[in-house]
Amino acid sequence: MMNTTMKIIKYELFDVLRNKWLIGYALFFLLATDTLFRFGGGGAKVVLSFMNIMLFVIPLVCLIFSLMYIYNAREFIELLLSQPIRRSTLFRGMYFGLSAPLALGYLFGVGVPFLLHDNGAHLASLIMLLLSGVLLTFVFTALAFQIAAWQVDRAKGFGAALLAWLVFAVLYDGAILIISFTFADYPLEKPMLVLTMLNPIDLARILILLKSDFAALMGYTGAVFQHFFGSELGVVLALTVLAGWAIAPFWLGARFFRKRDF
């Protein structure tokens, strides 16, 4: 006997794995990684260039694709909820049915070129790249689910998602830069640590760089992070907080979803 969540996941996988946008997403990573390997020099450089791409692309695609999917499924969600099924079960099933194929698309797109070109030379970096990409997928899909459960209005939902992406992917680093310049005379380590924890994209970047030869490129927050925790504890801590970044919006979204009207 499969439980109901697994059933929802199963059929959603049938649907999502055939989605042309998802296939395009996997192919994009495949092409990007492969091209970087062919023209971008050695494996270590590829890790770095690719990191900069994926830190932008994963959050954006997960937010927009998930929101589009949920908003389009509105009538079907209503039909499913008129069956003997709990709202929390459906929410859980839909979340994993959507985040799992997104994560798979990413793993496939990045993993295959690495296997073809790198012969495991940068295995540690690759693992961190894959792990942080998968975690970012779960984080931003959860954020999309929270937004969709909270905001019935499609346009407002997409607005909120784009704003979240803009803040995390672009504005946040700028703000940190301004803060560090403005308050250069003060001890900033601890506030900086807190600020880093508040941005999942920053955490993912640190996670990759802590285990690479490019620790110097970690920037201010990354350097503080390594200085405080060292690379081992740093990795564990970054992983934990990233997981929290997925769990919190998922939990909030499930609450909204249980209470809302359709």
Other beta carbons within 10 Å of 5: 20
Give the torsion sign (CA, 132, 23, 80, 59).
Answer: positive
Binding mask 147-176 for other proteins (x = CB under 8 A): ------------------------------
- What number of CA atoms fall less than 13 Å from residue 64's CA on the CB side? 13
The residue among 4 and 226 lying less far from other proteins, judged by its C-beta, is 4
Task: Count the residues of the shown chain that bind other proteins, applying the rule CB under 8 A.
Answer: 29
**Binding to other proteins in span 2-21, by CB under 8 A:** 2, 4, 7-8, 11-12, 14-16, 18-19
Contact 204, 55 (CB under 8 A): yes
Question: Between helices 87-117 and 43-72, what is the axis angle to 10°?
Answer: 150
- Rounded-to-integer distance, Cα 130 and Cα 107, Å: 6
Q: Is there binding between residue 262 and other proteins (CB under 8 A)? A: yes
Measured from the CB atom, is 97 or 109 closer to other proteins? 97
Torsion sign across C-alpha atoms 63, 68, 69, 71: positive
User: Please, are residues 221 and 196 in contact by the beta-carbon 8 Å criterion?
Assistant: yes
Q: Tell which positions 178-237 bind other proteins, by CB under 8 A.
A: none
If we measure between CA atoms, which residue out of 132, 145, 173 comes closest to residue 65?
Answer: 145
101 vs 113, which CB is nearer to other proteins? 101
260: left (phi over 0), alpha (psi -120 to 50) or beta: beta
Binding mask 68-107 for other proteins (x = CB under 8 A): ----xxxxx-xxxxxxxxxx--------------------
Q: Which is nearer to other proteins, 11 or 251 (CB)?
A: 11
**Smallest separation, CB 186 to other proteins (Å):** 47
255 binds other proteins (CB under 8 A): no
CB of 21 to other proteins, least distance (A): 11
Interatomic CA distance for residues 175 and 184, integer angstroms? 14
Least Å distance, CB 17 to other proteins, is: 8
Q: CB-wise, 145 or 245, nearer to other proteins?
A: 145
Q: Give the residue with the Cβ less far from other proteins, 149 or 169.
A: 149
Which H or E run contains 201? Answer: helix 200-210
Q: Which residues bind other proteins (CB under 8 A)?
A: 2, 4, 7-8, 11-12, 14-16, 18-19, 72-76, 78-87, 259, 261-262
